[in-house]
């Protein structure tokens, strides 16, 4: 066990003190939950004087986050005859497949075999409905006249990921006479997936749920693992549930219509996956970032597959984020503060997470847990991915402090952060 107590000027305008307990390892880059107490700082970048305070002053105990065993939980099958890959999220009797491939929406059986009852409510938004709704309705109903499909088309944007919009979903569900055997199908990015999943988890105390993600962000991350949520004005994703879908269907062809900015945003989570779990994957990303930005189908398919495998493995080990799953939150404590601080939707999720990872890497460096070379590599790959690497000018120390104090990783008043630690020369 290593005990570390340190105090640092941060980034360079936040100042913290730490106490942490970690276990050593010779494996890959490791992440550690650390307890954080706010320390005083001298001035903001904008010149005003701020004095920080402890969120909690009593001694803290940190939770070491263990690396999963290589065999940990998920299975991947790649078909020889087609480009279909199936990543299994292994959760006992709630296990489900993540289908990944080009043109999968042309094949009705992938969706139809996971329908429980005869009614489906497709939850989507104004942008995606005009692109893919007809295709999904066809996939749900072709050669299957018993299936009836209702739709609810929500306004587009993170700023609508809230209770008011959720009520529109319930309204449609009730008016359409959905019952407990009905299926909620999320067609869209992470905003739609998170809201639709939350609606499914609470409608009549739980209906069926299918994810059809259409952004890189949703295909590499949000459609796998069962975190659902809406935002609160005071914090991101504060109201939600863990609720797994019956299946996730990733038709990579849907990415052809995705904007470059959204593509980059999704790549932030791919980069996160490499950093937290797979040094070779991170190296592969460094070598293939241009292919990813050009939407090279092979590069994109590999990035989705590997990210889903990593996520499925972590979720299978720790569905409810009692331990190891928290490493998927690398960069998110700072990132969520940015999303909330600048106003939901002003910064994309992946943009905020990119800066959050830079901030977390900076803390890791100051603790002596990673070296300058890795910090530089993180900056470089994020810049190549056309992602920001500095916090927005408007975010003051007080804003970070107050927003981060409601982070879901706060335990008994103490904020816990996920940081990188490299043992050996794995990265």
Ligand X SMILES: NC(=O)c1ccc[n+]([C@@H]2O[C@H](COP(=O)([O-])OP(=O)(O)OC[C@H]3O[C@@H](n4cnc5c(N)ncnc54)[C@H](O)[C@@H]3O)[C@@H](O)[C@H]2O)c1
Ligand Y SMILES: O=C(O)C(=O)C[C@@H](O)[C@H](O)[C@H](O)COP(=O)(O)O
**Gyration radius of the chain's alpha carbons:** 21
Residue the block writes with tokens 């910090």? 375
Q: Indicate which residue of 321, 351, 401, 416 is catalytic.
A: 321
Residues 260-289 binding ligand Y (CB under 6 A) are 269
Residues 301-306: contacts with CB under 8 Å, at least 24 apart:
301/83, 301/85, 301/100, 301/101, 301/102, 301/252, 303/216, 303/220, 303/267, 303/270, 304/100, 304/216, 304/219, 304/220, 304/250, 304/252, 305/76, 305/85, 305/87, 305/100, 306/273, 306/278, 306/281
Instruction: Determine the longest span between alpha carbons in the chain, in angstroms.
Output: 69
Q: Indicate which residue of 272, 305, 306, 311 is catalytic.
A: 311
Size of the site for ligand Y (CB under 6 A): 13
| Contact map string, positions 173 to 212, toward ligand X, x by CB under 6 A | ---------------xxxxx-x------------------
Which are the contacts of 143, defined by CB distance < 8 A and separation ≥ 6?
108
Among candidates 128, 213, 201, which has minimal Cα distance to 169?
201
Residue 227 as a binder of ligand Y (CB under 6 A): the answer is yes
Residue 124 as a binder of ligand X (CB under 6 A): the answer is no
Contact 210, 245 (CB under 8 A): yes
Cis peptide before 12 (omega within 30 of 0): yes
- 205 in catalytic set: yes
The binder of ligand Y chosen from 35, 37, 56, 325 (CB under 6 A): 325
Per the structure block, which two tokens stand in for 382?
Answer: 């994020």
Residues 349-408 binding ligand X (CB under 6 A) are 349
Q: Indicate which residue of 146, 164, 205, 287 is catalytic.
A: 205
Q: Work out what residue 263 binds among ligand X, ligand Y, none; the CB cut-off runs from 5 to 8 Å by kind.
A: none
Size of the site for ligand X (CB under 6 A): 29
Among candidates 10, 37, 213, 34, which has minimal Cα distance to 125?
213
CA distance linking residue 96 with residue 88, whole number of Å: 6
The binder of ligand Y chosen from 408, 414, 421, 422 (CB under 6 A): 408
- 119 in catalytic set: no
Among candidates 261, 267, 221, 283, which has minimal Cα distance to 29?
283
Q: Indicate which residue of 269, 319, 339, 351 is catalytic.
A: 269
Q: Work out what residue 258 binds among ligand X, ligand Y, none; the CB cut-off runs from 5 to 8 Å by kind.
A: ligand X
Residue 158 as a binder of ligand Y (CB under 6 A): the answer is no
- 329 in catalytic set: yes
- 332 in catalytic set: yes
Q: Indicate which residue of 11, 231, 329, 340 is catalytic.
A: 329
CA distance linking residue 105 with residue 213, whole number of Å: 11
For the bound state, the minimum distance from the C-beta of residue 236 to ligand Y, rounded and expressed in Å, comes to 6
| Binding stretches for ligand Y (CB under 6 A) | 221, 225, 227, 229, 236-237, 269, 321, 325, 328-329, 332, 408
Active site residues per annotation? 205, 227, 269, 311, 321, 325, 329, 332, 336, 349
| Binding stretches for ligand X (CB under 6 A) | 125, 127-128, 131, 156, 158, 161, 188-192, 194, 214-215, 217-218, 221-222, 225, 227, 237, 254, 257-258, 262, 265, 348-349
């Amino acid at each position: 066990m290593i005990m570390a107590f340190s105090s640092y000027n941060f980034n360079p305008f936040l100042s913290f003190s730490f106490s942490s307990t970690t276990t050593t390892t010779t494996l890959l880059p490791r992440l550690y939950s650390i307890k954080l107490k706010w320390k005083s700082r001298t001035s903001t970048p904008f010149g005003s004087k701020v004095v920080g305070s402890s969120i909690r002053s009593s001694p803290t105990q940190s939770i070491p986050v263990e690396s999963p065993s290589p065999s940990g939980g998920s299975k991947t099958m790649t078909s020889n005859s087609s480009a279909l890959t199936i990543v299994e999220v292994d959760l006992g009797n709630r296990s489900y497949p993540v289908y990944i491939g080009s043109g999968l929406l042309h094949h009705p059986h992938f969706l139809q075999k996971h329908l429980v009852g005869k009614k489906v409510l497709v939850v989507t938004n104004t942008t995606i409905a005009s692109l893919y709704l007809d295709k999904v309705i066809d996939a749900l109903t072709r050669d299957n006249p018993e299936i009836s499909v209702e739709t609810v088309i929500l306004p587009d944007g993170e700023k609508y990921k809230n209770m008011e919009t959720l009520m529109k979903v319930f309204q449609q569900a009730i008016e359409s006479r959905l019952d407990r055997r009905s299926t909620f199908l999320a067609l869209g990015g992470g905003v739609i997936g998170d809201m639709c999943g939350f609606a499914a988890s609470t409608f009549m105390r739980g209906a069926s749920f299918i994810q059809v993600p259409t952004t890189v962000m949703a295909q590499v991350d949000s459609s796998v693992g069962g975190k659902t949520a809406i935002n609160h004005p005071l914090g991101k994703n504060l109201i939600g549930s863990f609720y797994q879908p019956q299946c996730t269907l990733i038709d990579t062809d849907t990415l052809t219509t995705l904007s470059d900015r959204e593509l980059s945003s999704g790549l932030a989570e791919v980069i996160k996956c490499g950093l937290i779990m797979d040094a070779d994957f991170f190296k592969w990303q460094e070598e293939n970032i241009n292919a990813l930005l050009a939407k090279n189908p092979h590069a994109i398919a590999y990035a989705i597959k590997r990210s889903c495998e990593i996520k499925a493995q972590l979720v299978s080990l720790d569905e409810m984020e009692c331990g190891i799953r928290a490493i998927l939150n690398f960069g998110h404590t700072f990132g969520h503060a940015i999303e909330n601080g600048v106003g939901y939707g002003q910064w994309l999720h992946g943009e905020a997470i990119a800066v959050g990872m830079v901030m977390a890497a900076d803390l890791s460096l100051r603790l002596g847990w990673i070296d300058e070379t890795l910090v530089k590599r993180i900056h470089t790959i994020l810049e190549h991915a056309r992602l920001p690497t500095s916090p927005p000018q408007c975010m003051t120390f007080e804003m970070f402090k107050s927003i981060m104090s409601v982070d879901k990783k706060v335990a008994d008043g103490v904020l816990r952060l996920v940081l990188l630690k490299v043992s050996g020369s794995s990265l």
